[in-house]
Structure formats: C-alpha cells, structure tokens
Amino acid sequence: MIDQETIQRIMDATRIEEVIGEFVSMKRRGANYVGCCPFHNEKTPSFSVSPAKGIYKCFGCGESGNTVGFLMKHEHYTYPEALRWLAAKYNIEIVEEELTDEQKERNNERDALFHVSEFAQKYFADLLYNDEMGAAVGLSYFHSRGLTDNVIKAFGLGYCLDQWDAFTKHARSSGYSDNVLQKTGLSIFKEDGKVYDRFRDRVMFPIYSVSGRVLGFSGRILQKEKSPAKYVNSPDSEIFSKSHILYGLYQAKSAISKLDKCYLVEGNIDVISMFQSGVENTVASCGTSLTIEQVRLMRRYTKNITVLYDGDSAGIKAAFRAVNMLFEEGMHVRVVLFPDSEDPDSYAQKYGSAKLQEYLAENESNFILFKTKVLAQDIKGDPIKKAEVLGDIVRTIALVPDLMERAEYVKQCASLLKIPEETLQNELAKTLNRKLYEAMNHKPDPNDKDIRDTESGETHPGLTATPIEGERTEDGGEAKTRPVVTPFSLNPAQSQENKIVSLLLNYGDQWLEFESKNDKGEPQVEKCTVAQVIVGDLLEDRLTFDDAVCQQIFNIYAERINNGDSAVDTQIFVTSEDEMMRERAVAMMMTDYHVSDKWKDKMIHVPSQQERLRMDVEESLLTLKLKKLDLKIDDIDRQFAFVDDDDEKLMLVAQKMSLIKVRRQLGEALNRVIS
C-alpha cells in the first residue's frame, strides 16, 4: 500500500494544469485555464482549471474534481493507478507502507477471492474448448445463439460440468481453501459435510470490474425443466455486489466514452449480441432491477442513455419502472422498443448487425414523449383515466432536473394529450412544490389537497385530509372550509446557506482582525480565521442548515474547529467519496467569473473579495439569521389558520412580537429598514 507520506509528496508536486494540459488544450484566462471539456462534446470552452485550488470543473456538463479524479475519469484508472501515473510523471519514488496484521489478513482474503474467481473463469473457459462435454453442451449453445469464437473469448464465457463437485475438487487440488470457495459462492457446503458446485451444468458468464478483474459469475441452465432457476448469480461477497455492477461495462466503457452514449439492455446475451453486431457501448443491470448505484456508474462515462426493452407490455412496464432513477440523476433518456417477441439478441440473429443498427437509429424516441404517446392510447375519452395519465406524466417530468428541458416536455406533452399547456404547467408546479416540501420537512405538505402517496395511494401517518367546503365530516357535521394558502416556494434561506458554506470553502483559512479589550480594559487586536468566526457564531446561536449537503460540510468544519484546528483542508471535500458533497463543494470553489482587466485600464478600482472579506462574512451571517427569522414568523402566521383556542393564539402573537423585535435589531445591524 502506498504510504500517506508518499501520497502527500505526490499531491504536493502535482500541478493540475500540467497534468490536464497533456489531455486538453487550454488557454489562460485570469487566474484559471479554460478549454473544451474532454467529457462531453462542445464547441465553446466551458472547462475551467484552477491551479491555485488544484481543481477543475466543467460549467457545461458539471464534471469536477482534482488531478487524481481527472485521471480516474479520463483514463479510467483506479486510485492507486492514478497515483502511480503522477509519481512517474514527477519522478517520485513510490514507498510501500507495511500493513498491520489486520490489514494484511483482510487484503490477503480479498486477494484470495480475486484469485480464485480468476482461476474459476480460466477453468470454465478452458472446459468450453478442451473438454468433450464442455464443447458438446456449452460451446454448442453459444454457437447456436450466433456468437463467434472471438466474442466468446472477449467476454471470457465458459461452462461448468454436469458433476456435483468437479470444480471444487479441482480448486482444492490447486491449493484454494474451502473458506475462500464458500465466500465467493463458487462452492456450497452443507451442514452434513456434503459439497457441490453452485454452477454445475450451466454456461458461465463472468462478471468483470471496470478494470477487468473477475468479481463473480452468472450461470445459465440449459435444461428444459422449469424447476431450476434459469440464471444463478454469485452471492454478494467482499468483492462482488450485483447492485453495484453493470454486466459488460469492462468491454463497453471505451466505446461509451468515445460515443458519449450507452445502451441499456435486459440480459447478458443481449449485451454480447449487441457487441458482436458493432454496438459495443452496451451494458445490462446484472440480473437485478436497475439500482441507483448502477445509474451513477453509467453516469461516470456518459449522461446519454438509451433503454432497449422487449416490445411486449411487460417490456414497456419494465422500461417505465427503470427510467425514473435515470432522470433523477440528470440523465438524458431515450428508448427503443423491439417488435413483439423480439429482443436485441433475436433481432440481431434474424436480421444481422447492419439491420440492427439501422433499427436502433430509426426507432429511438425521447422517453417522456414515448411514454406520453403510450399512455394516451389508453385514455379513450375517459376523463378519470386522462387525469391519471396526466398525473403519471407530470411525476416523470418533475424528475428532470433541468428547467429548460422540463419546459420543453410540458409543451410537447400538452400537445400530445390535447390539453392546455397551462394545465400541465400548473400540475407540474404542484408536484414540484410537494417534492420540495417533503424534501425539506421530511413529510407531506399538510396544506396540499392530495396528501396521499402518489405511488402507493396510502395516507401518510399522522395526517388527515382537511374537508373542503360543502363536505360533511364522519359524524355528519358541516365541514370547515380549507384555509387558502399560497403555494409552497423555495426556502429563501437556502441561497444564504450556500453563501455561508462558499465562504468556508474559499476563505475559511483566511485570518480576520477584530478589535477588543483585555481584562484591564486596554485595546487589543484578536485574530480569527473565517472558519472560526462562522462556526463559532452559528453554533452559539444554535442555527442549522435546511440544505442537507450544506449542513454536512458545516459539520466537518465544526468538528475540526472544536478540536482546535483553525481551518480545514478543502481537499477532503474534493476527494470525498460522497458524490453529492464533492460536486457541491467543487462547484462552490470554482467560478467562471473574474474581474476584467479593463477596469484597471479605466483607472477604476474594483474591491477584491479579500478586501471586503470581513464585511462579507459579517453581513452573510446577519442575513442568514434574518432569513431564518422570516421563516419562523411565516410559520407562526400559517399556524393561526389551524388554531381555535384564544390562549394559543395569544401565545403565538407573543412569539411573533418577540421575533419581530429581534428582526428589527438585525435590520439595524445591516443598515436596512425592516418594517
């Protein structure tokens, strides 16, 4: 293992502009360098590199990180591989660190799992060509599916003999322990002492990591009986988790990056057939429903996903279920449905690779528009069905993070459903408001007419629908009129929370001077960092952030400051495994704006951030408190609509007057007139 001291020497020597400059043509702009992004196609440069902060960010596609992250993304290196590349570039000798006994034992076990998996893959592949039964059963099956020997070998396919423990005996004789065989799931050990091969009499599909190591297997039964499972996968282990893996990604990653597009199919054979037909940028979800981890794995290579499914009703429903996660992760989703009884594999076998590629190109549709057309066919003049379809479409559009995309979907879907665009826009606004309220308050909006879960139809615990005027309560009494409330909007304090965290990330280590008096009443100057000032002030007033990511970043600062540090090394955010925190931190640390030199030419002095830093910190903290108070006052105003007891109303009035008094004091401190 590379020791921490060596890693630090590598990072200290690395110049991000030099490293990225080997892959991207860049020009200097102010303190930064800019060029065309290597991760998506663009003509106008939006890729910015900050030598001072050691980070990069594309303001077009959003990719960001540090030097190591760039190499891992661009060259598909692992973390150690990226470090070794940098060490070689800057002539730094790699020092290996002696591991503890516990680390050695853990690494040895992981290595053993990898070794036995690779051993098994070679064994199964060898049987396919060099064993009479393997060739007669396994190889014949693959050939019958139209696969060539070249593609069979490219994917490392194989066969496990129809014997109880042939593989286990071979592995034992080669020195592999029962413990390792059991943990990989290659062998199953019964309590009565019997042992058998998990994959006996199955053709084998090895599942590779992104770097090409064998992690596990998927085995397909060839018997006609219905009792055994058609496919059996390796169980989860320390090296294998099927929800975090995409079948075929190792073979497809280069094509996906080059073409900036990925095809998502249902099965292993579909992946291999597509690859053989020249559509190499194809993956499958490893025998499980699509997971968020798999979506994020695809997003490392592209944001353009085309989902391929069978053309029957089950295929269409499967496509609908899988796509929501893709939209939530900011993917651009299209879909191709094959004719009934066809899939990518059967279509390729029947019509050949040229026809397959032609079909894909001609039948690719935008997913939301496709879904709208499909659901619109079921309306048939039924207003109730039309309302259900409208709600379904709106919930899907609401998952799209880009505002302009959503607006275009509203326009086109309204036309397909033959409804006014304003109607669809209003429904979308309600859905977005509901999502925002639930995200920020962890519960449904009590003022929302539809407080039932949009998917399950279940009422949320602790909430009952407020009767509407004209309705009757359960005991027959007249129902009260629902209070009229304004639609929920974005929390106005959140922009200020972002400003506070941005100050921490960009200027947290900067020192500020404050005048004070010592015990004798004599004037003195105290020095504190921006981080110490912000953390101390917010903790003293017990203020928290509504934005979860901002709170997460602040907590790290608070922990370090309370432990005696004056600031925090921002590289811990740049290299964080938490993707949301890493992306938000880098976005706040990078800016695409700088003060033009033309101001100097006109002899006009524009104050730098450093010059106005103290004032900016103080105003930002006061403004945050003011916005938090506004939210509390608004909350009290909303409570009045639900309170009938006079004493409770008086208490609310007293609370509001107290908050207004503090609000005015904050306004005076900010030199603002507060009504």
How do residues 325-380 score in pLDDT, each as one tens digit?
A: 888 787 889 999 888 778 899 999 889 999 999 999 999 989 898 888 888 887 87
324 versus 123: the higher-pLDDT residue is 123
CATH code for the part of the protein at 249-363: 3.40.1360.10
Cβ-proximal residues to 97 (8 Å cutoff; 6+ apart), any chain: 1, 2, 3, 4
Average pLDDT over residues 407-422: 88
Q: What percent of the residues of the chain are helix, what percent strand, and what percent coil, each to the nearest 5?
A: 50, 15, 35
pLDDT band at 666 (very low <50, low <70, confident <90, very high): confident
The amino acid at 257: S
Chain position carrying tokens 């040895």: 108
pLDDT band at 491 (very low <50, low <70, confident <90, very high): low
Q: Name which of 555, 553, 502, 550 is nearest 530 in CA terms.
A: 502
Structure tokens at 33: 């360098």
Q: Characterize 116-132 residue by residue with b for buried, 16 or more Cβ atoms within 10 angstroms of its Cβ, and e for exposed.
A: bbebbbebbbebbeebe
166, pLDDT greater than 60: yes
Task: List, by residue range, all CATH 3.90.580.10 domains of the chain.
Answer: 4-89
Specify the pLDDT at position 480.
38
CATH code for the part of the protein at 4-89: 3.90.580.10
Neighbours of 577 (CB within 10 A): 6
How much is the pTM? 0.58
> 401, 330 in Cβ contact below 8 A?
yes
Structure tokens at 464: 């009952």
469 versus 226: the higher-pLDDT residue is 226
Structure tokens at 153: 């070998």
pLDDT band at 22 (very low <50, low <70, confident <90, very high): confident
Most confident region among 22-36, 345-359, 415-429 by mean pLDDT: 345-359
| Assigned architecture for domain 101-240 | Alpha-Beta Complex (3.90)
Task: List, by residue range, all CATH 3.40.1360.10 domains of the chain.
Answer: 249-363
Average pLDDT over residues 4-30: 85
Least confident of 196-210, 566-580, 600-614: 600-614
Least confident of 106-120, 157-171, 431-445, 532-546: 431-445
104 versus 590: the higher-pLDDT residue is 590
Specify the pLDDT at position 517.
73
Most confident region among 103-117, 417-431, 439-453 by mean pLDDT: 417-431
Q: Characterize 89-110 residue by residue with b for buried, 16 or more Cβ atoms within 10 angstroms of its Cβ, and e for exposed.
A: eeebeeeeeeeeeeeeeeeeee
458, pLDDT greater than 70: no
Task: List, by residue range, all CATH 3.90.980.10 domains of the chain.
Answer: 101-240
631 by DSSP, 3-state: which? Answer: helix
pLDDT band at 518 (very low <50, low <70, confident <90, very high): confident
Q: Tell me the pLDDT of the chain averaged across its residues.
A: 81
Measured distance CA(512)–CA(442) in Å, rounded: 38
Indicate the burial class of 405 (C-beta count within 10 angstroms; 0-12, 13-18, 19 or more).
middle
Q: What are the phi and psi torsion angles at 412 (to 5°)? A: -75, -40
How far is C-alpha 86 from the geometric centre of its chain's CA atoms? Answer: 27
